[in-house]
Chain A
Amino acid sequence: MARLIPLATAIAELVAPGSTVALEGFTHLIPFAAAAEIIRQRIGHLTLVRLTPDLVADWLIGVGLVDRLIFSWGGNPGVGSLHRFRDSVQQGWPRPLELEEHSHAGLVNRYVAGAAGLPFAVLRAYAGTSLNGIHPNIRSITCPFTGEELAAVPALNPDVGIVHAQQADRDGNVMIWGITGVQKEVILASKRSLVTVEEVVDEFGEHANSIRIPEFLIDAVAVVPGGARPSYASGYYDRDNDFYLAWDRIARDRDGFLAWIREHVERRADA
């Protein structure tokens, strides 16, 4: 049963040091405010799971809270490299980063198997690529019906799944519309879950391409208006493309990055 609690309380209760945390949102609805709160509480040694570790991952990696990253694409979309991610992989700063790297389909299907309560997922990918063999979580399996060789990836059940959504109702049911990414799969696959929302409403309206997630699947809902900025929340605010462009300069330099985090993340209490 979802409880409506402040973000700081939710993060303190749900995210333990050393846990596996999935932060999802496929370009849309990225839970930046939740990541900022993890930084303020200095919860470290995390395994971060994210299909597209972009700016939100750069923050967490750059301040040294991530030991291991499970991902499929690490860049600044439409802009270029992710400098803090690159620095940790190439130079080990501020700490070495262990990688478990997939294609989107591979990681997506790890969540799907996790949500479905299966030990692994089958997909027709990875054949012939160098991704095969770089870590033990991509293996092959023979189809018992056709004899075909297929790829297998193990189920992923994060300790905590965190996503942002547009709305919750007073019971803690959640509604998302626009690009829904893997929001549903992450909540269904995770042992505990937190959804930050733009607002609480008395009743949900109708929106094209919407999904609703029942409250009993969610542990905590925290109201954080603007909680996805600088990404966007369809119906609330647009993506701050200028900030994504500016991030290239901010994150390029270690000291500049740390100064930016102090100024814009650590000194700012959550709503």
Chain B
Amino acid sequence: MPEFSAREMMIIAAARALRDEHNCFVGIGVPSVAANLARRLYNPSLMLIYESGCIGAKPTRLPLSIGDSELSDTSMTVVSVPEIFNYWLQGGKVDVGFLGAAQIDRYGNLNSTVIGDYDHPTVRLPGAGGAPDIAAFAKEVFVVLDQSVRSFVPELGFVTSVGHFAHGRTRHEWGLPGGGPTQVITNLGILVPNEGELELRWIHPSVELKDVRQHTGWDLKISPDLACTSEPEEWELKELRRLEER
């Protein structure tokens, strides 16, 4: 059995989730690593879309930002930023949106704006960027983040991006056309929504249920169909490491 880190497991699980998808709107960081890995390993025709307007990017190395020349030089087309948001995202052309966040709650709402009071924040985070639009319009959203009591919180101080239920209404009642988060992929397992609330559906190899509970800031529901994520294969790890080395 090959050795692997929790981070590698998370990235490979996220990449596997893109196996049958047509296109994916990619943010930088883990989402970009996972999407590029998916294109290499399981889904060579996966179309990567970046908010800088790069559509059909085929980077040979991982970009540091969403607008590196590696993306625009390898794209099928590059459109303006108004076009990517108005026509592509809002226009409903995106299958999967891939998001990270600082915090998530049980309904899959995400905070990437502030920790603490908005006017006097304890931590000022970068803010929304394209996240609320991705969360609103992509047909489904995959969220990737490390699981801890600091990130998996009972209540968000600020809802940057809407999951399944926020501020007293469902996403349908808010008029959001996209499907919302369908998978939350962490270093410990994979959570999926059941009637709008996230429950643990898969647990990663050698992680125990009590670890997952301990790293969740609310009383986490466990799916009756809970199963174990299959271990990363040698060839998956090899390609991931090769990708991150470049």
Contacts and interface: CB of A to CB of B under 8 A. Distances in A.
Contacts of B29: 78
Contacts of B77: 209
Contacts of A81: 125-126
Most chain B CB inside 10 Å of its own CB: which residue of A77, A123, A149, A181: A77
Interface string B88-103: 0110000000000000
B124 A85 contact: yes
A105 B161 CA distance: 13
Contacts of B191: none
B72 A179 contact: yes
A259 to B, nearest CB: 24
B174 interface: yes
Given A78-B28, A129-B162, A181 B72 contact: no
B130 to A, nearest CB: 5
Given A78-B29, A112-B82, A129-B162, A104 B64 contact: no
Given A128-B174, A129-B159, A131-B160, A239 B129 contact: no
A184 to B, nearest CB: 7
Interface in B27-76: 28-29, 51-54, 63-69, 71-73
Contacts of A180: 53, 78, 80
A174 to B, nearest CB: 15
A78 B72 CA distance: 17
A90 B69 contact: no
B176 interface: yes
Given A103-B133, A125-B90, A178 B126 contact: no
Contacts of B158: 130
A28 B72 contact: yes
B121 A105 contact: no
B198 interface: no
A75 B90 CA distance: 24
Given A239-B68, A241-B64, A28 B52 contact: yes
A103 B162 contact: no
B78 A127 contact: no
A28 to B, nearest CB: 5
Interface in A40-56: 51-52
Given A128-B169, A181-B52, A27 B129 contact: no
Nearest to A244: B64
Contacts of B128: 72-73, 101-104, 129, 131
B175 A124 contact: yes
Contacts of A101: 113, 127-128
B235 to A, nearest CB: 27
B174 A179 contact: no
B175 A179 contact: no
A27 B72 CA distance: 11
A86 interface: yes
Contacts of A123: 86, 90
Nearest to B116: A90
- Top-3 shortest CB links A-B: A27-B67, A75-B126, A73-B129
7 contacts: A72-B127, A90-B121, A104-B133, A127-B174, A129-B159, A130-B158, A130-B167
Interface of B: 28-29, 51-54, 63-69, 71-73, 77-78, 80-82, 85-86, 89-90, 113, 118, 121-133, 136-137, 158-162, 166-167, 169, 171, 174-177
